[in-house]
A and B are shown apart, each in its own frame.
Chain A
Amino acid sequence: MRHTLAVLVENKPGVLARVSGLFSRRGYNIESLAVGMTENPEISRMTIVVEGDDRVLAQVTSQLSKLIDVISVSDLPPSESVDRGLALIKVSADTDTRAEVMQIAGIFRAKIIDIDAETLVIEVTGDKGKIRAIENMLGRFGIKEVVRTGRVALHRGTKTVGGEYR
């Protein structure tokens, strides 16, 4: 099972190494990791997608919570949260195929952010399924390069993570 964790950490040097080191030495698999500053510059937020059963999730959560720089760890269940990732896709597109590629991008509400005679760069945001779907659609034109961000997630509604520390 896949779990999305929102981890608030102190914005200090070395925190990312502490977290990623913990995952590697304890043998937990990180599927994706995104990190950035929160609305409070002293606090960063990591969104970690981790694969494992409930036992693994409990271990990951309690081991993360033991790190001194980790302020809070919250599990964001899919039904109660929204998440997005972003991908940039460089796809072959010449005068014969450009229109069709742009049409596909339009259907996925993706943006064309660069163009030259032979390629287009497409920016697409969405959940994992959507990004995979557009990749599949573009595959036959020749994908030259793909770069993805880790996923970021928030609770739906008024609920937030970390309480007083934010």
Chain B
Amino acid sequence: MTDTPISGAKALINCLKNEGVDTIFGYPGGVLLPLYDELYDSDINHILVRHEQAGAHAADGYARATGKVGVCLATSGPGATNLVTGIANAYMDSTSIVAITGQVPTPMIGNDAFQEADITGITLPITKHNYLVRDVEDLPWVVKEAFYIASTGRPGPVLIDLPKDITTDEFEFIYPKKTRLPGYHPDVGIDDAAVKRAASMILDSECPVIYAGGGVIISDSSPELLRLAETIQAPVTTTLLGIGAFPQSNPLSLRMLGMHGTKYANYAVQESDLLIAIGARFDDRVTGKIDAFAPHAKVIHIDIDPAEIGKNVRVDLPVIGDAKMILQSLISHLQKMQTRSGAWLGKVDAWKKKHPLQYEQSDKVIKPQYVVQEIHKACPDAIIVTEVGQNQMWAAQYFQFENPRTFITSGGLGTMGYGFPAAIGAKVGCPDRTVIDIAGDGSFQMTSQELATVSKNKIKVIVAILNNSYLGMVRQWQELFFDERYSYTDISQSVDFVKLAEAYNLVGIRAEKPSEVPAAISEALSADRTVVIDFVVDPMENVFPMVPAGAAINEILDPEVAA
């Protein structure tokens, strides 16, 4: 690219531009000074967060909303360790992010230098791969490989640790066209014999259920999923991360399964004779008691990661590869299929009619489920991001999702404080979309300092706090399983969220009565900046249905039983 030697810092910027990076979420520090000096002149949009954890979550939200690789940047030592939660979160949910950390100069590594932390050692179990760059000549290779690894196969976070002297060393920069990874072959093709067998198992089944996970969204196979479901007339349930993979308005939709899934999804799985898992990993929140999960079903497991096969449940037929390619091939084998007898779908529909998601509406106190429904009514095509806990489950249950990449949530790690920074990332990645963080008063306080980020950068998101004055999900478990002993979950009267928003020169709105909910939402939608809405909701409302931890997924607590 150039014959004159350039610094590692400049080379890194070139590498990022070669990878199509236009946005970085970062926070500067001592060892990053040479790199930030280059960023100052660069046309890369650097969003200065207020805590590195938020940078990692924002990169994650950006990646999930856009399908591109999210990039975050932090300095050595505490900057790097502050990324750890965000990296672990991306790892658990298979999000493609590249995290770049500064490191002390190479001669000082291992000497407990100021702001030194062994971040490649620390992130070994929570990254798909990581690099410590020891020679500036390796830098272009490392960046090329990091983006390739993060975004291919089963995606995941990759960390690049960059010692300060590497950023100032000069070399002749050439961006490699290929990678040198003898042990990494994400392109596995498809096994035709397995696909044919899957087709014949589908033809032989009478009560099939499709169980779709986040892999469907990652592989962009929602259209194929819809075609498969309609071709074989099988109902579709999704995991939490699979929400949006299948339109919930479709008559074949069973919505979400598992601990807080619909009763009809769980009943259908339990009575199915064939479970077609696509890009899902049989998490314990999905299966409940594993020995009692889908007891009559043969299992077809379509996944790009061979290590997921048989990890949690016995699989009758693994089909390894990219879900999109596999589904296309599978559909081509099923074109001639006879219409399935209506008995199974009839049974499923009867469950749907008998056990809809429901809550008791009130005209005195705001029900959190009602807020979610009103948000859906006002803005059905919003990107919904959530925090973790009751707010997350109500958002999953009461919004109606039709499209992939419209529901962004921390599934595997369950990271409180994820939602707001992830919403910032989603908005930066999709500036024309409305982005709403459905939040809890507990979770939001874990990363609320990012109000400064949205204020300074004029980023508009809506934070809809379902404020029940409790760490609600823990309180719910204390109510149900610990004799209503609310040990350290009361967080009432500790913050005025309206004033908090105003302190950052943003808009704060409070709604205390059900009648005030629609107006609060519409005011927030029309505001020109980030809005925090404090919905004061029923403090004792619980998330139902609920399968207690360790129970079979058809052993469901419902409001009547619990009350």
Contacts and interface: CB of A to CB of B under 8 A. Distances in A.
Interface stretch (A68-76, A85-93, A138-146, A147-155): A68-76
Interface string B132-154: 10100000000000000100000
Contact of B183 (A58, A62, A69): A69
B10 interface: no
A70 B183 contact: yes
Contact of A10 (B124, B182, B305): B182
A14 B119 CA distance: 13
Given A67-B183, A68-B129, A17 B305 contact: no
B189 interface: no
A9 B309 CA distance: 23
Interface string B106-146: 00000000000000110011001100101000000000000
B307 A59 contact: yes
A165 B182 contact: yes
B112 to A, nearest CB: 19
A18 interface: yes
Contact of B307 (A17, A63, A70, A165): A63
Given A17-B124, A18-B124, A68 B181 contact: yes
Interface in B264-318: 305-307, 309-311
B182 A65 contact: no
A55 interface: yes
A146 B430 CA distance: 65
A21 interface: yes
Given A62-B309, A63-B307, A9 B125 contact: no
Contact of B311 (A17, A21, A59, A65): A59
A66 interface: yes
Given A59-B311, A62-B307, A63-B307, A68 B124 contact: no
A159 interface: no
A102 to B, nearest CB: 47
Given A9-B183, A70-B183, A65 B306 contact: yes
B40 interface: no
B181 A17 contact: no
Interface residues of B, number: 19
A58 B310 contact: yes
Contacts of A17: 121, 124
A65 B125 CA distance: 15
Contacts of B305: 62, 66
A59 B181 CA distance: 22
Contacts of A25: 125
Interface of A is mostly: helix
Contacts of A69: 183
Given A58-B310, A59-B310, A62-B309, A21 B125 contact: yes
A12 to B, nearest CB: 10
Contacts of A58: 309-310
Contacts of A67: 183
Contacts of A21: 124-125
B184 interface: yes
A57 to B, nearest CB: 11
Interface string A6-18: 0001100110011
A42 B310 CA distance: 33
A125 B544 CA distance: 64
B139 to A, nearest CB: 16
A64 to B, nearest CB: 9
A62 B188 CA distance: 14
Q: Name which of A13, A68, A70, A165 has the most chain B CB atoms within 10 A of its CB.
A: A68
Q: Name which of B124, B129, B183, B311 has the most chain A CB atoms within 10 A of its CB.
A: B183
Contacts of B128: 68
Contacts of B124: 14, 17-18, 21
A112 B73 CA distance: 59
Interface of A: 9-10, 13-14, 17-18, 21, 25, 55, 58-59, 62-63, 65-72, 165
Interface of B: 120-121, 124-125, 128-129, 132, 134, 149, 181-184, 305-307, 309-311
The 5 closest A-B pairs by CB, nearest first: A62-B307, A71-B183, A68-B129, A62-B306, A70-B183
18 contacts: A9-B183, A13-B132, A14-B120, A14-B132, A18-B124, A59-B307, A63-B307, A65-B306, A65-B307, A66-B305, A67-B183, A68-B128, A68-B129, A68-B149, A68-B181, A70-B183, A71-B182, A165-B182
